[in-house]
């Protein structure tokens, strides 16, 4: 069987999840675990029977049997590690966000395209059964007119040292918006405010609003200093409304057959009769509990073998970075609205 040789770089908090899923992926052969902390890499490799361990990326790149490198190192190191991989002719799966700046991300995508390398970003949520279902509904028009996306992503910690709360948590929502919205609805501008109550040097509490081209908004409430953990998104449409509660495994998705309609305004009616509310049934679809990262691993391995473009390619990573970059500029301008540059799909 022709399996794809894979190396995982970064054995910290997230790396072990990549190792576990590539180890389980039948189309992949996990050849290396690499971490600057070789002892950490060795422990992780030992747990999953991975043959080779190193603290040096050059060891990984010198192995001709390695075709894909999955990178789970701190964001500030993504660009340099990925570019070394492209130069060595390897394909890359990189953790979100793609890079530490929009410029670095643009350079990465150009380098990958010039080298003919696959560049996939681990926008994990796009591979969950819930988001795949939501995307199908939104794109089939099942929600009616798209009215809003409203997200709460809060918990206590982990306060990151190299990125603020927006760069840590908003990539999830930005990548989901990019993934589920039909092509004719684009993010156009962004406004962000936030605070740093601990004085760590960047915001730990943030409120971000994205204005969409159809007049709808997407709002995110991001907080590292919340006593409770919440991962809840509401999506409103004129026909149906969705609630996605990701820490409720028995009912992650609730679909409400509810909505509001404005009566024909030309009809003479009393003011309170202008809006008609529909309160319909709620359905909680039984969706398969498949670990998203197993789909990520399969998508990357398939792209390596078939040279196909992954769903969450480098350009989707750039669109997310463009939103992060605009959000940071808005934050610096006290919440002023900042236009989001566009990055079309495909080279
Ligand atoms: N997809 C998700 O849901 C998700 C969740 C958490 C983290 N992440 C992402 O994963 C990445 C890593 O985050 P983390 O929380 O695991 O960080 P971490 O600090 O826990 O681990 C990073 C590891 O990388 C190693 N490292 C640093 N520089 C290296 C280099 N040049 N070569 C080899 N190893 C190096 C460190 O020694 C450390 O073990 C980040 O991009 C983060 O945004 C994604």
pLDDT digits (tens, 9 = 90+) for 160-196: 888 999 999 999 999 999 999 999 999 999 999 999 9
Closest atom of ligand 1 relative to the 160 alpha carbon: 15
Which residues have CB under 8 Å from 308's CB, separation 6+?
302
Q: Within 13 A of 43's CA, how many CA atoms are on the CB side? A: 9
The Cα–Cα gap between 228 and 252 comes to: 18
Res 145: pLDDT:
93
Res 342: pLDDT:
87
Res 263: pLDDT:
74
By the 8 A CB rule, do 125 and 312 touch? no
pLDDT of residue 266 exceeding 90: no
By the 8 A CB rule, do 314 and 175 touch? no
Measured from the CB, is residue 9 less than 6 Å from ligand 1?
yes
Pocket test for ligand 1, best of 36, 37, 56, 74 (most atoms within 8 A of CB): 74
Closest atom of ligand 1 relative to the 12 alpha carbon: 21
Percent of the chain scored above 70 by pLDDT?
Answer: 96
Pocket test for ligand 1, best of 12, 43, 75, 158 (most atoms within 8 A of CB): 12
Predicted TM-score (pTM) of the model is 0.95
By the 8 A CB rule, do 223 and 202 touch? no
Closest atom of ligand 1 relative to the 293 alpha carbon: 1
List, for residues 111-145, the tens digit of each pLDDT value.
999 999 999 999 999 999 999 999 999 999 999 99
The values of phi and psi at residue 329, to 5°, are -65, -35
């Amino acid at each position: 069987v022709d399996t794809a040789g894979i190396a995982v770089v970064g054995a910290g908090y997230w790396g072990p999840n990549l190792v576990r899923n590539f180890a389980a992926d039948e189309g992949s052969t996990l050849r290396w675990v690499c971490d600057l902390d070789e002892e950490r890499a060795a422990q992780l490799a030992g747990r999953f029977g991975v043959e080779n361990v190193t603290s040096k990326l050059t060891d990984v790149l010198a192995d001709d049997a390695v075709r894909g490198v999955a990178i789970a190192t701190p964001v500030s190191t993504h660009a340099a590690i990925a570019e070394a991989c492209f130069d060595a002719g390897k394909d890359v799966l990189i953790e979100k966000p793609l890079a530490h700046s929009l410029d670095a991300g643009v350079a990465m995508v150009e380098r990958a395209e010039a080298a003919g390398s696959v560049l996939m970003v681990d926008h994990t949520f796009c591979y969950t059964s819930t988001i795949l279902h939501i995307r199908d509904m939104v794109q089939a028009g099942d929600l009616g007119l798209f009215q809003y996306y409203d997200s709460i992503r809060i918990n206590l910690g982990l306060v990151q040292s190299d990125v603020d709360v927006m760069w840590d948590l908003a990539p999830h929502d930005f990548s989901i918006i990019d993934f589920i919205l039909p092509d004719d609805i684009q993010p156009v501008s962004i406004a962000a405010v936030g605070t740093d109550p601990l004085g760590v040097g960047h915001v730990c509490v943030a409120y971000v609003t994205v204005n969409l081209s159809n007049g709808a908004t997407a709002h995110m409430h991001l907080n590292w200093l919340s006593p409770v953990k919440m991962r809840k998104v509401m999506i409103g449409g004129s026909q149906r409304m969705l609630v996605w509660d990701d820490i409720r495994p028995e009912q992650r998705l609730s679909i409400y057959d509810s909505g509001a309609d404005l009566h024909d305004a030309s009809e003479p009616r009393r003011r309170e009769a202008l809006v008609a509310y529909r309160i319909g049934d709620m359905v909680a679809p039984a969706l398969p509990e498949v670990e998203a990262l197993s789909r990520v691993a399969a998508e990357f391995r398939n792209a390596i073998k078939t040279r196909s473009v992954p769903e969450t390619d480098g350009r989707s990573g750039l669109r997310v970075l463009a939103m992060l970059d605009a959000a940071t500029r808005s934050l610096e301008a006290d919440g002023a609205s900042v236009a989001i540059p566009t990055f079309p799909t495909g080279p």
